[in-house]
Structure 1
Amino acid sequence: MGIFDTSPRARAAALVAPPFAYALLLLAVPLISIVLISFWTQTGLTLSRVFTLDNYREIFSGPIYIWGNQNRWGVLPLSLFVSATVTLVTVLLAYPVAYFVSFHVAPQRKSLWLFLITIPFWTSYLIRVFLWKVILGYNGVVNTGLIELGLIQEPLDFLLYNLNSVIITLSHAYAVFAILPIYVALEKIDRSLLEAAQDLGENRFTTFVRVTLPLSVPGIVGSVLIVFIPTIGDYVTPELMLGAGGRLISNVIQTQFLQLNNWPLGAALSIITMLAVGVVSLVFILLNQRWLRGRG
């Protein structure tokens, strides 16, 4: 008999080894490479592998990346603000949709509603971004409609090529990823708890605030993390919706790698961004756990 026939641990190791090697190759190796490159320097096409902190000094000493100046934010704080705003808007819009499907749609039709919610996301992400440019453009659908209704005399110029357009586009792009976790959390709520609260004198609003909302917090936390983490790294939407000269941290990193040929600085910016997102996410999770313990 072979070792895989006699040892459960060996069989378990054989099953785990391929996905572990796959994850190591595609996740750990690139991350370690980025960390190493961030401590190197590059002059033209020459990459010096001498250990240095110059890239991190440049990030923290200059006004561009972190601290900004009196007239504008640093690129990283601005990117975090945009991601936080997108997350807030997306979750606030997603919750009513998830609540309606969970509590007001007949059980046999919930699958149909979820199917309908996902239909817009069958198309290419790039196509949806371009469609928002058409909708928000100077002569787009919104401006044309407002002019036809007589609400404005000339097209509004603040709808496109600014942070507003980025927030609107990203909020739509990640809406379905916020709706589904909240819907799952709402579906897990025991309806008898809601009936018990109303039997004890609570009205619908107080039942929602004191029972439904706290029990759906895990879904809200999942939605926040699912939206916040990828939006700060989104490159396409800021590139297309901010116009010339508009940059968030993802665009700056892309510029360092592909245009300025400064891989070490781009890698250092990537590491700082990942750390910032990790810290913000960890703080949010810890605050949420503390709030849940306080209610327990």
Structure 2
Amino acid sequence: MAKGALTADQKRSMLLLAPPFAYALLLLAVPLLAIVLFSFWTQDFITLDTTFTLANYQEIAEKPIYFALLQRSLYVSGVVTLVTVLLAYPVAYFVSFHVHPSRKSIWLFLITIPFWTSYLIRVFLWKVILGYNGVINTGLTQAGIIDEPLTFILYNVNAVIITLAHAFAPFAILPIFVALEKIDRSLLEASQDLGESKLSTFFRVTLPLSVPGVVAAVLIVFIPTIGDYVTPELMGGAGGKLIANMIQTQFLALNNAPLGAALAIVAMLSVTAISLVFVLLNRKWLRGRA
């Protein structure tokens, strides 16, 4: 066989990998390249000028509203991620350590039940719960806890955070559960045999070993929430709009796709930078404990 020639197995592997690679290239790489290309063009409502320019990025840098929306979006995504992971960890821990193995599949099945309904329907249900005459306000008023309905739980950033935290809870529970399931239980028994309490065993053994699941949960929740525009549109009101809503407005309402593309690129680069810093800090922390 000639030097450098592919073997039959290598050819078969390339043949098998070609369709999914082409599929990923067509649906991921091409649209992303199109967005990058659009961001360097300009558009006057109908007329699209394909001359290379940095005008869109210059406008983003000069107008404070874009930075304010991006800052608010990162804040909301950060808070949603923190709240979701903090609430998801006890659920995953309970299912992993306190539920009988024969019933764990049932619990996981129950956790995924929210996915059975449309995301839009779940958002509308939260409007019913958090509304001026919703379940929470009506219940608190009838119980005599408040005299008038609460106004800070709907059509603002708080409502967006609550709704997104509920929507992405299963995405945080599942990776943490997988990481907890991989922990060798004999390590926990050895820790307690050496005199450690259950609490110290959790912080010195269980929690560090479950960090990969926590990191996965953080990234899975943080990255997509920055691009969510349905929840801020329906729950945020005037003070709860995020960068994704501005991108949608530029593409659909103002017919300025290049500026919307530039905003999308800026948001994507911001999320990528924060995610990479988080991953690098986590790797540095893990190496320090090794």
Taking structure 2 as the reference length, what is the TM-score of the superposition?
A: 0.96
User: Would you say 1:114 and 2:115 are equivalent positions?
Assistant: no
User: Would you say 1:266 and 2:250 are equivalent positions?
Assistant: no
2:204 pairs with one of 180, 204, 210:
210
Equivalent in the alignment of 1:220? 214
1:237 pairs with one of 206, 216, 231:
231
Deviation of the 1:242 alpha carbon: 1.1
Range with greater deviation from structure 2 (211-220 or 14-23): 14-23
Deviation of the 1:33 alpha carbon: 0.6
Equivalent in the alignment of 2:180? 186
CA RMSD for the aligned pairs? 1.1
Deviation of the 1:15 alpha carbon: 1.0
1:81 pairs with one of 55, 64, 75:
75
Distance 1:51 1:259 in 2: 24
Counterpart of 1:43 in structure 2: which amino acid?
Answer: D
Distance 2:277 2:65 in 1: 25
1:199 pairs with one of 193, 196, 199:
193
Equivalent in the alignment of 1:132? 126
Equivalent in the alignment of 1:53? 54
Equivalent in the alignment of 1:11? 12
Given that 2:89 and 2:176 are in contact with CA atoms closer than 8 Å, whether structure 1 keeps it comes out as yes
Equivalent in the alignment of 1:156? 150
Specify every segment of 5 or more residues in structure 2 that has no aligned partner in the other structure, as ranges: 1-5
Counterpart of 2:118 in structure 1: which amino acid?
Answer: S
Equivalent in the alignment of 2:36? 35
Range with greater deviation from structure 2 (121-130 or 89-98): 121-130
Q: Deviations over 1:256-278 (max 9, x none)?
A: 00000111100000100110000
Deviation of the 1:13 alpha carbon: 1.6
Deviation of the 1:7 alpha carbon: 2.5
* SS at 2:66 equivalent: coil
Q: Matched residues, percent identical?
A: 74
Q: Deviations over 1:49-87 (max 9, x none)?
A: 100000000101111111xxxxxxx10011000000000
Q: Deviations over 1:214-235 (max 9, x none)?
A: 0000000000000000000011
* SS at 1:47 equivalent: strand
* SS at 2:183 equivalent: coil
Equivalent in the alignment of 1:248? 242
Deviation of the 1:245 alpha carbon: 6.1
Given that 2:140 and 2:146 are in contact with CA atoms closer than 8 Å, whether structure 1 keeps it comes out as yes
Equivalent in the alignment of 2:3? none
Equivalent in the alignment of 1:44? 45
State the number of aligned residues: 285
Moved over 4 A (4+): none
Specify every segment of 5 or more residues in structure 1 that has no aligned partner in the other structure, as ranges: 67-73
* Aligned counterparts, 1:142-153, within 5 A: 142-153=136-147
Distance 2:29 2:282 in 1: 29
Equivalent in the alignment of 1:71? none
Distance 1:256 1:238 in 2: 16
Counterpart of 2:112 in structure 1: which amino acid?
Answer: T
User: Would you say 1:282 and 2:283 are equivalent positions?
Assistant: no
